[in-house]
Structure 1
Amino acid sequence: MASTRAQADRTELLKNAGVVTTAIDGIMELAKGRRKSGLLLLGAAALSSRIPGLGTAASVLLRAYRRLR
């Protein structure tokens, strides 16, 4: 039972870290004057608490789009 609890704690920690890093990316985008990108990332961070991985996917796709543009 203890290992199941530890695994759940790690999963929750990673989930929260994804939300926080996406929110930081969004704030940094806003600070750079990229309003649309910043709002997109902040929205993805807010939804990441319900849909795991959404914030990370949004961040990766945004970076790929910029690189290919």
Structure 2
Amino acid sequence: MTIFYWDYYGPDAEGTARHFLVHLGEYIVRAGVPDCERGVESAGAGHCAVWCKAPDDAREAMLRLRPRRAAPAP
């Protein structure tokens, strides 16, 4: 499993992240990527990130969305 992150900054970061989360869910369904967990987290004021924990065989599909960072899931 890998966790992919899309970071957003500024006063509209949370709204933008929540909007992207909706489209990420739609993409996951269209791409047929099973067993994905996803959500939104913040590292502080002015930052919000969308994350998606996806199986390793979904890596190519997730990279099409150009995440800013990725890490192995614990």
Please indicate, yes or no, whether the TM-score normalized by the shorter chain is above 0.5. Answer: no
TM-score, normalisation: structure 1: 0.43
If asked which structure has higher relative contact order (CA below 8 Å, sep 6+), I would say: 2
Higher helix share: 1
Max Rg structure: 1
